[in-house]
Amino acid sequence: MEFSTQTTASLHQIKTAALAVGVFADGILSPSADTLDRASNGALRDVLKTEFKAKANTHLVLRNLPGVSATRIILVGLGKQDRYNAAAHIAGELTFANYCVKASVPEAVSTLASIECGNSTLRARTRATAMVTGRATYQYNATLSKVDHEPAPKLKKISVWINRTQATEAQIGLREGQAIANGMNLTRLLGDLPPNICTPTYLGNTAKKLAKEFKTLKAEVLGTKEIEALKMGSFLSVARGSYEPPAFIVLRYTPTGAKPAAKNRKAPIVLVGKGITFDAGGISIKPAAHMDEMKYDMCGAASVLGTLRAVAELELGREVIGLIPSCENLPSGRANKPGDVVTSMSGKTIEILNTDAEGRLVLCDALTYAERFKPAAVIDIATLTGACVVALGHINTGLFSTNDALAESLLQAGRETQDTAWRMPLDEAYQEQLRSNFADMANIGGPPAGSITAACFLSRFTRAYPWAHLDIAGTAWRSGNDKGASGRPVPLLVQYLLSQAS
């Protein structure tokens, strides 16, 4: 996909297969729509009076408009003007991108980013243009026969129409948005792949392929013997129940020209992704209904790989390290049993009361491993608890943190990209629910506040650095007829890293 800026002063003279202009539900035309209306002797206002209500997420196609060179004018409904914000802009761009894909147009021009919207910058708006276009053109066909393949989208080029003086800012936003889109689509593909293909080994090979594609990335994949040597007893206890071997993936991004020993070197930021490539629950087996969706239990790992891909494409000026503990959680004669006690890499012992609370068992050892990098911050990303879905639904990612500054930076990144999170409590009083008579802690705290006690468990392994936990159980994928990975929270993570590198 190619993104560019279009700075032609005469909007009505632009020759393109599809030209998007925004209109508001209260009959108000955006500046670009007003320009075309005047060029066509009031044709747009006539349509608004009779045919198009301009509600959000709607569009109307006008062809062969007099006085306008574009083949099609796409009127994009933006809702009421007084409610127009960054989310409405993203919805408008997605409406236009989806139309372009369905109409099989090869190139198009959008004017939507030129519309002022709250305190959103042009850079943020053009970033959103590229992001949602990538979302619209994503197509899963990895396991479909050639007969059932949908034709590949013909859309190859999107231009953003803006003032010539704004071109540099717009181009920065487009570049960022394209990198985020590429990272999201890698995350989506890994999530959508079936679990017999996307195994821990497959995730490790994906990291190695990224390292070959980008010279700033270095991948290391540790197998069972190396994991045993690290004494990751908690992680290995989960992996033991499966025939598939575990993998501990370390993917390290180092900016070009950076010297690890330099005195002014900033400490790295570490991302830790839960990589359970299939979660049957182990001995505490899940209900059969919807268990197929447990292939998405590695979306935390997928988001780390997608984020590192975007970071490498953007040539970020800050060191970032991705850690992925990956295995399957299956019932077998060698699997964890309720009542087992295991020893984590930190030396702390854990009583396993429910084998389906396995994500925290693999993450805790990765969080201990992260200490060796003396990180500026550690963020773990995991489809950790159904309780978070009950609390927040599918809109906000659950954010837990022991560090207010880190939490606010992540919340702000989510607001800027509309990949939103909501901060949840992490009071010390919740820790009491993890008390065990037979180990240093239990791996569950009972039904009350399930997402909070899961975060409390992880927090016990993060005393050495600023830490945040993103529970993406409600936001990593969609169910039903639109079942598929969402690519979240790659936009949030990349925006956070951009802010830390600036």
158/186 same-domain check: no
| Residue 310's CATH number | 3.40.630.10
Q: In DSSP terms, which residues pair with 329 in a beta bridge? A: 279
Amino acid at 307: T
Cross-strand pairs, 349: 343
Looking up tokens 């891909």, which residue turns up? Answer: 309
Of 410, 445, 418, which is closest to residue 431 (Cα–Cα)? 445
Phi, psi dihedral angles at 329 (to 5 degrees)? -120, 95
Neighbours of 357 (CB within 10 A): 23
Distance CA 130, CA 187 (A): 17
3-state secondary structure (DSSP) of residue 125 = helix
Cα(440)–Cα(455) distance, rounded to whole angstroms?
16
Let me know whether 314 and 352 are in one domain: yes
Q: What b-and-e string marks burial along 260-286, b requiring 16 or more CB atoms within 10 Å of the CB?
A: eeeeeeeebbbbbbbbbbbbbbbbbeb
Q: Are both 136 and 189 inside the same structural domain?
A: no
Give domain status of residue 443, yes or no.
yes
Among 100, 127, 162, the domain-final residue is 162
171 in a domain, yes or no? no
Any domain includes 364: yes
Are 102 and 194 found together in one domain?
Answer: no
Both tokens of 316, joined, read 């970020």
| Confidence (pLDDT) at 423 | 98
pLDDT the model gives residue 234: 98
Q: Are residues 151 and 208 in the same domain?
A: no
Of the candidates 293, 287, 290, 281, the residue with the CA atom closest to the CA atom of residue 194 = 293
Which of 134, 162, 190 is the C-terminal boundary of a domain?
162
Q: Distance (Å, rounded) from C-alpha 220 to C-alpha 232?
A: 17
Domains of the chain: total? 2
Q: Is residue 349 part of a domain?
A: yes
Task: Give the dihedral of Cα atoms 481, 484, 486, 490; nearest 10 deg.
Answer: 180
The vertex-322 CA angle with 319 and 324, nearest 5°, equals: 170
**Amino acid residing at 452:** I
Residue 167 lies in a domain: no
The per-residue pLDDT for 258 is 72
Task: Give residue 125's domain range.
Answer: 2-162
Q: How many CB atoms lie within 10 A of CB 59?
A: 17
Structural domain includes residue 175? no
pLDDT of residue 261: 61
Say whether both 119 and 234 belong to one domain: no
Give dist(CA 300, CA 298) in Å, integer.
5
Q: Going residue by residue through the chain (502 aa), what tens digit of pLDDT does each one get?
A: 899 999 877 899 999 999 999 999 988 999 999 999 999 999 999 998 888 999 999 999 999 899 999 999 999 999 999 999 999 999 999 999 999 999 999 999 999 999 998 889 999 999 999 999 999 999 999 999 876 677 888 999 999 999 888 999 999 999 999 999 999 999 999 999 999 999 999 999 999 999 999 999 999 999 999 999 999 999 999 999 999 999 999 999 999 977 666 666 799 999 999 999 999 999 999 999 999 999 999 999 999 999 999 999 999 999 999 999 999 999 999 999 999 999 999 999 999 999 999 999 999 999 999 999 999 999 999 999 999 999 999 999 999 999 999 999 999 999 999 999 999 999 999 999 999 999 999 999 999 999 999 999 999 999 999 999 999 999 999 999 999 999 999 999 999 999 999 7
Per-residue pLDDT, 263 = 63
Q: How many other β-carbons are positioned within 10 Å of the β-carbon of residue 119?
A: 8
**Residue 351 CB neighbour total at 10 angstroms:** 20
DSSP 8-state secondary structure symbol assigned to residue 285: P
CATH code for the domain of 38: 3.40.220.10
Q: Are residues 46 and 103 in the same domain?
A: yes
Torsion of CA 192, 490, 420, 278, to 10 degrees: 40
Neighbours of 62 (CB within 10 A): 20
Whether 230 maps to a domain, the answer reads yes
Distances (CA, A) of 108 to 189, 376, 414: 26, 42, 28
Residue 176, in any domain of the structure: no
* pLDDT at residue 169, rounded to an integer: 96
Interaxial angle between packed helices 86-102 and 122-137, expressed in degrees from 0 to 180 and rounded to the nearest 10: 40
Strand partners, 469: 380, 400
Closest CA to 326 of 474, 440, 443, 206: 206
Q: Which residues pair with 221 in a beta bridge?
A: 249
Instruction: Assess whether 139 and 252 both reside in one domain.
Output: no
Asked whether residue 156 falls in the same domain as residue 25, the answer is yes
- Specify whether 154 is located in the same domain as 209: no
Q: Which of 162, 192, 210 delimits the end of a domain?
A: 162
Q: State the catalytic residues.
A: 286, 360
C-alpha dihedral over 209, 210, 211, 216, to 10 degrees?
Answer: 160
Cβ atoms of residues 19 and 44 within 8 Å: no
What's the CA gap between 345 and 362, in Å, rounded?
10
- Residues 495, 383 within the same domain: yes
Same domain for 99 and 237: no
- Cis? peptide before 489, omega within 30° of 0: yes
d(CA 65, CA 70): 8
